[in-house]
Structure 1
Amino acid sequence: MSLPQELVDAILDNISDDLPTLKACSLVASLFTHSARTHIYRKIEISPLSSSGNSCRKFYELLSSSPDIAPLVKNLLIVSNGLFPTDAEECRRGKLGFEPDTSRTLPLVLPCLVNLTRISLVEHPPNPWIKTACSMNWRAMNEDSKSALAAVFSSPRLEAVHFRGFAIESPRQLLSLFSEAVALKEMSLSRMYFTSPEPWPKLQPWLPQLQSLRINDSGRRVPYLRYFVHPQICLSQVSTLSVNTHSIQWRNEIIQATGVEHLQVMLRGPTECTPDIFCGMKLRSIHLWTDCTLYVLAHVFIMCQPGRALERITIDGPGTDWELSLLRLSNLDVSIETKLDHLPALKRVELRREKEGTDAVDTFAKWEVAVQAALPSLMRRGMLFMTEIDSAARHEWE
């Protein structure tokens, strides 16, 4: 009995992340093939770390033999090997581009991907011990690769871009690559290295209307976050913002320039939890990372003004016993209790504690019970949730 195509599509949509099952379904019957391939080839990763050899060359061979696959690719991830400490000077000299096989075949692959909407160029793995080194350098790439990438970056179809571990001459050069990308809505920049801090010209237009912006310029002497606070770069549409920076000034400037609804901020201490973080009336969720989990939680309630639309607070961190003592001594739960009546939209407060550093004495279960006792105002309302997370979850911030 033949199944309706709509039913087949619905079944495959429900298993869209299960690659082995999708591949098996694509071999069942021609009715399944196209829908399965739509999910199988939606996201492609080009990486020299692939177990099957250089995946850029392999992917080009696949496109050559089956050109009908190319229009199905919507999301392209290009991964470059992370550097070792001895490579830092080579990166500063601009001698590191793509691996040789990628350099040769990438200019042939990119023009085929006519429906590409998302592209990521990332280092793997990130190297926290190299502060100025990056895995990819724009100046070191061959001209064919740069031309092919520039065409993608300026495409009217491009909706999202993610850079991590990338060196380029200046913020102006970086932003100019996307100045014509009228559909660009998401931008994520982490571990960027600029050889010349040249700002965006005051009179030069920049067409993207970003809705999501993620920036990690932590450790940079000149925060590149500030280059986005510019009259020609419209941030009023940004509803999702993630910031990891040492510059409180520019962090607060960019928050005030947006209509942010979902905010993610890494704090180095409770003193960075300032009223400017909560200035937006539209703010619906806030996600913080800090070494002072409970103390910052109390400050969130102290700083948050009544009548906000805030629905969810999430705080990640190591979680320590000394914080519990501080919370009890300062009686900050009373402040939380007072503010709860003026935040009618708030439904969930989640504290996520890292596994790293816990032992047989300082267990998550023990910490969970102690926090529940220290925050009775949240417990009574059924709003307090606690989760144990892996320390690798911090990579979410990149």
Structure 2
Amino acid sequence: MSSELPQELVDQVIDHLWDDFVSLAACSLTCHAWLPSSRTHLFRHVDLDSPSACFRFQQLLKTSPKIAPFVRKVRVRSYSLSQKPPALGYEEIMWESHVPRLLSRLPRLTDLNISSLNWGTLHLTAVHGGAFLSRLGSVKRLTLADVHFETSAQVRSMLAAASNLEELYFDRVYWNNSSACVPLNAPVCQMPRICTSLLQSPFVPTSRDTGGRRLQELMLRSGSPSDLVIDWLLGTGEVRLRKLHVSWRDRRNAKALCALLIASGPHLKHLHMELTNGVAGLMQNEMQLGLLTSLRYVHFDGLILSDCGDWITTMVAQLTSPYLNQMEISLLARWTDDLCMLDWNKLDAALSRGCFVGVVVTLNVNLAIYRANKEEDARMIVELGLPEFQKLGTLLVKCS
């Protein structure tokens, strides 16, 4: 089939079909000129969430190896943390062990999402484990959710290998044993030996380390190895985070979060902190939000009235960024009257400074389900408590 249309125009038309896989498949069979653009979208995102999906993709790479460069994102979901159905055969039960070999064959992989996986089921041998870790060097976005490691060394070796990460998301990541780990500057050629020796070298960052320096967005959800990730990030040199989302529950390592905020300094633009009252109280004297001079958005979340009032006022008073345009405070109150225990005069004074001119401040008040609690009463308490700020900025009150 010949076409009088310029190839650039054909490519743009096919690009509009990026999420229509039936049409893309038809376009790929139309003519040779339409094949590259169609493949770009057909194989951009691959889901490996079952034995059949894994083996189909394995066979596809075997028969059509030219599609490998088109794969940019892979999502691996194994369900290995739950019991395997007894109807599966041995080869199907062990399908996760094929994943490292498949990933190592994708030269342009930039987005890797792994969930519901026991790391041991990957069976990282010296050869395939080294190739897999080497491939992590091209990944820019890494997501781990409900992943169970055997040792903390495995977590750190993975972070060390992912030297070009720009976005990192950890959600419910666990391990059984703490152990030493590989130096961050270990060359790729040493990865097979590292896998075999279970990463016996101590974790000692050097001036040549680059892992973490490119990281711009970090999310640490509850149940994740927050202090391990922060220690790794701080040890790699200058921290250039622009977006930080943390859900912190560990009182013993509250200072680690403070250290990360201080290190982020003028680079951080988006901050979301979900804290318990106990953690917030420990951090009150350590937090230095005034160093975050480029903040555009900040959200304080997870706090319960009435004993978090002083912390909220202290944190708001520390904010000095001239670029701030939006702030959220989410509170949980058992009773509407608990709102009256917050020192609204101090909070209003903290919000009435020059850096809050034109800022949209949203207060999310979550009330316990009691008949005596009225959303209208809670909204009135908040609005009457911040009269001066409402002359400078915009106040939004959301009650539920």
For 1:82 and 1:372, the matched residues in 2 are separated by: 50
Could you say if the C-alpha distance between residues 188 and 328 of structure 1 is closer, same or farther in structure 2, counting changes exceeding 3 Å?
same
Distance 1:367 1:15 in 2: 48
Measure the CA separation in 2 of the matches of 1:81 and 1:10: 38
**Deviation at residue 117 of structure 1 after TM alignment:** 0.9
In structure 2, what is the Cα distance between the partners aligned to 1:345 and 1:7?
A: 47
Partner of 2:56: 58
What letter is aligned with 1:271?
A: G
Overall identity of the aligned pairs, in %: 18
Specify the alignment match of 1:78 in structure 2. 76
- Pick the aligned partner of 2:231 from 224, 227, 231: 227
Q: Distance in 1 between matches of 2:281 and 2:6?
A: 60
Tell me if structure 2 keeps the 8 A contact 1:286–1:313.
yes
| Partner residue, 1:303 | 317
Code of the residue aligned with 1:251 in structure 2: it is L
1:250 aligns with 2:256: yes
User: Match for 2:272: what amino acid?
Assistant: Q
How has the CA–CA distance of structure 1 residues 273 and 374 changed in structure 2, closer, same or farther, with 3 Å as cutoff? farther
The structure-2 alpha-carbon separation of the partners of 1:351 and 1:61, relative to structure 1 and needing over 3 Å to count, comes to farther
Return closer, same or farther for 1:174/1:225 CA change in 2, 3 Å cut-off.
Answer: closer
Residues 139-198 of structure 1, C-alpha deviation per residue, up to 9 Å, x if partnerless?
872526534422322x3x221222233344544443333435442222233323251243
Question: Which residue of the other structure, out of 173, 196, 206, is the alignment partner of 2:178?
Answer: 196
Q: Label 1:316 to 1:27 Cα distance change in 2 as closer, same or farther (>3 A).
A: farther
For residues 194 and 257 of structure 1, the distance between their equivalents in structure 2, rounded to whole angstroms, comes to 30
Deviations 1:259-292 (A, max 9, x none): 3222222210253563615132222222332143
SS at 2:256 equivalent: helix
* Equivalent of residue 300 in structure 2, options 285, 288, 293: 288
In structure 2, C-alpha distance between the alignment counterparts of 1:207 and 1:341, rounded to whole Å: 40
Deviation at 1:367, TM superposition (A): 5.7
Task: Give the C-alpha shift of residue 313 in structure 1.
Answer: 1.7
Native 8 Å contact 1:60 1:108 kept in 2 = no
Matched, 1:383 2:394: yes
Deviation string, structure 1 residues 276-319 (Cα, Å, up to 9, x no partner): 151322222223321438966952664324455322223446x4
SS at match of 2:109: coil
| Amino acid aligned to 1:290 | G
> How many residue pairs end up in the alignment?
353
The answer to whether the 8 Å contact 2:133/2:161 transfers is: no
- Superposed, 1:1-398 pairs within 5 Å as 6=8, 9=11, 16=18, 19=19, 21-24=20-23, 26-27=25-26, 34-48=36-50, 54-81=52-79, 83=81, 100-123=93-116, 135-138=117-120, 141-143=123-125, 146-153=129-136, 155=137, 157-168=138-149, 170-190=151-171, 191-198=173-180, 201-202=203-204, 204=206, 205-208=208-211, 209=213, 210-216=215-221, 218=223, 223-225=227-229, 227-228=231-232, 230=234, 232-245=235-248, 246=250, 247-259=253-265, 260-269=268-277, 271=281, 274=284, 276=287, 278=289, 279-292=291-304, 298-299=312-313, 302-316=316-330, 319-320=332-333, 322=335, 324-332=336-344, 335-344=347-356, 347-352=359-364, 371-372=382-383, 374-376=385-387, 383-385=394-396
Indicate the residue corresponding to 1:128 in structure 2: none
SS in 2 for 1:290: strand
Residues 1:387 and 1:332: Cα distance change in structure 2 (over 3 Å) = closer
Partner of 1:131: none
State the one-letter code of the partner of 2:158: L
8 Å CA contact retained: 1:189, 1:215: yes
**Is the 2:240–2:264 contact (alpha carbons within 8 Å) kept by the matching residues of 1?**
yes
Q: CA separation in 1, counterparts of 2:302 and 2:377? A: 20
Higher mean C-alpha deviation, range 185-194 or range 111-120: 185-194
How far apart are 1:81 and its partner, in Å? 1.0
Residue 257 of structure 1 deviates from its aligned partner by 1.8
C-alpha separation between the residues in 1 aligned to 2:347 and 2:316? 7
Letter in 2 for 1:77: R
Give the CA deviation at 1:116: 0.3
SS across alignment from 1:27? helix
Deviation per residue, 1:202-246 (Å, 9 max, x gap): 3555322122233346487x942453365x412422222222331
CA offset digits 1:3-62 (Å, max 9, x no partner)? 65555655665665xx3x3533553565766445423432222113xxxx6321122233
The answer to whether the 8 A contact 1:171-1:227 is kept is no
Aligned-pair CA distance for 1:254? 1.7
Q: Is the 8 A contact 2:333 2:339 kept in 1?
A: no
Tell me by how many angstroms 1:340 deviates: 3.1
- Preserved CA contact (<8 Å) 1:239 1:262: yes
Structure 1 gap ranges (5+): 88-97, 124-134, 390-398
RMSD: 4.1
Equivalent pair of 1:170/1:196 in contact (CA under 8 Å) = yes
How far has the Cα of 1:138 moved from its partner?
A: 3.9
Task: Provide the secondary structure at the position in 2 that maps to 1:258.
Answer: helix
Partners of 2:168 and 2:62 lie apart in 1 by: 31
Q: More displaced, 138-147 or 66-75?
A: 138-147
Cα 1:141/1:366, change in 2 over 3 Å: farther
| TM-score, normalization by structure 1 | 0.70
